[in-house]
Structure 1
């Protein structure tokens, strides 16, 4: 750090010092400076307590307790020249303790602080003023897991910075500030710099942390979905094999949203599909050529009345505009992830598949025999 000398149009290097070398102490000096000027941490903070020890069954004390403009509690820990190894664990404990504080608890804590520092001042009045003159009744404090942690030290050990960076991936709201004293003659200076996350990358790091957490949650959810689907498809296959149909006898449960069995014609399958919105049985026509799929679908459509009579009900006929495939389906509302709906979904899907197989088996054989005769000599078509 340098001091600008206007008269000589030059800069003069300030001498970096240590707090201990200057005779400063953590509680008597650094803590007091921050308490009197919390804006040094880069935002508007309201200090509501020093040396807070209002935790059940423990004598531990956190250095400073504050509120930010969003009503979140901010745990501030000061460590002078060295962060120590355990500051993150210590601060996390304090944050967990403070997560239980209610709005009235916070007002009482602040009032106790004011009774010592500003006798006669009411906590609710200063809280209202800090929150842009809102009525105290309308102010929300310490909602959910909004607690924040600020660590201040001249030097941070690698095990601390590594832990902090890792915790950021889990949306723990944690900041590290490097506090450095400087001297020039008898003049002393203090520089407080946010180093994790750096101010110019904070928004990016928060975004990355949110993405990382979303990815973790998605992995957990995906694993859960896979387990549920395998169990559901196992039940479906068991129920299907209890019918006279042999369609699914060689099929194993999967973890996708569908399972399928062949119809005897390549690219045309009899599939079960189940999602959060529906369960269905379908004939899915998905050969490599779109025009051929449309031709086969049209041949089925020409025999729609016959097929639905054998099926014993109305089917949904979908040419799937804009896609290569076509399908014929029977569908019911349902949610595969709600086990209470499984019995009705499985009954509908298995019954529909059994009847759909009977209804399309003959027409498919005849349609495909006619189609093969149209193919060039030597082309198998399967």
Structure 2
């Protein structure tokens, strides 16, 4: 049972179907374009009904990018996922595997410019958006065109539907465990009050809890392998070499990035929310967590803090989450600031 709480007023929400309340699949697609966090994670929507494949008219519902630089192929079903939903998405993922980073940004620019929701985007605008979304660990831009980053050639698959039967969940689990395919299933549920107000909730149903440890280890391995490839110099290296930050400097978790559903009160003086820069520039030793004295990368520590306070898994880039106490700026903001612009 789901309840809507408004002060002392508690109203039960009755689960219904999207069909029953006259919601079309196109409506759900538009909701996701406008608010992709509905799918339970941070995504940058690149296009919908993507139609640039050779020799086929098939189109994935939504094409997006996650913070690790992986394409995400989103396949939507308004009600129960049918028997071919997973196969459709696998085909779309194979079609998308050859898209380059520049092509993806060109497609993003075309899609959003054609919608006319805002001023026309230039390549520089798009490059800045992608670089900001992906963070300094993944992307770089000189400000004169599209961002540079290594686009993973193994797209993720995200299936979103009103419900999933064993004809979908069984092959998905098998593909994950035996072949390492990154497939997520998210149930979208419609609820209605007695006053006919409609609410939508989302719930990840796969990977199932029993597979979480396995999937977490596999994703961490992929992150490490991806980061060992050629990419922009890490923000911490640039900041240390420029003398902007030093060994021993304190960083505090950015209060604005604390999730609404955290079960721990934010306190900038609490060691749980604080770290000390180590002065090291490896992949896992940039910052010492004052809570336990262990060393992490800024990304891994951000993920650890977020996961411990919410019980949910996060896939984020770390630099925007840590604020330097001396400058009162995040490490991402510091990275973008020229040395001469800082008030010493």
Q: How does 1:45-124 map to 2 (within 5 A)?
A: 45-117=43-115, 118-122=118-122, 123-124=126-127
Distance (Å, rounded) in 1 between the aligned partners of 2:110 and 2:164:
33
> Aligned in 2, Cα 1:208/1:140: closer, same or farther, shift over 3 Å?
closer
Larger radius of gyration: 1
Contact 2:76-2:159 within 8 A present in 1 as well:
yes
Contact 2:188-2:201 within 8 A present in 1 as well:
yes
Q: How does 1:228-307 map to 2 (within 5 A)?
A: none
TM-score normalised by structure 2 residue count: 0.56
Shift of 1:6: 3.5
Counterpart position of 1:129: 132
Shift of 1:103: 1.5
Q: How many residues align?
A: 205
Matched residue SS, 1:80? strand
Distance (Å, rounded) in 2 between the aligned partners of 1:100 and 1:120:
27
Distance (Å, rounded) in 2 between the aligned partners of 1:21 and 1:189:
13
Shift of 1:51: 0.5
Instruction: Provide the aligned C-alpha RMSD in A.
Output: 2.1
Matched residue SS, 2:157? strand
> Please, which runs of 5 or more residues in structure 2 have no aligned partner?
220-344
Contact 1:81-1:153 within 8 A present in 2 as well:
yes
Normalized per residue, the structure richer in helix is: 1
Shift of 1:208: 7.7
Matched residue SS, 2:18? coil
Counterpart position of 1:2: 3
> Aligned in 2, Cα 1:202/1:66: closer, same or farther, shift over 3 Å?
farther
1:196 and 2:206 are equivalent in the alignment: yes
> Aligned in 2, Cα 1:143/1:7: closer, same or farther, shift over 3 Å?
closer
Contact 1:65-1:76 within 8 A present in 2 as well:
yes
List structure 1 segments (4+ residues) > 6 angstroms apart after TM superposition: none
Q: How does 1:320-335 map to 2 (within 5 A)?
A: none
Which one scores higher on RCO, CA 8 angstroms, separation ≥ 6?
2
Shift of 1:115: 1.6
TM-score normalised by structure 1 residue count: 0.50
Q: Give 1:186's match in structure 2, choosing from 196, 199, 217.
A: 196
Shift of 1:60: 0.4
Alpha-carbon displacement from aligned partner over 1:170-203 (angstroms, at most 9, x marks no partner): 11000000000001012110010011014x6564
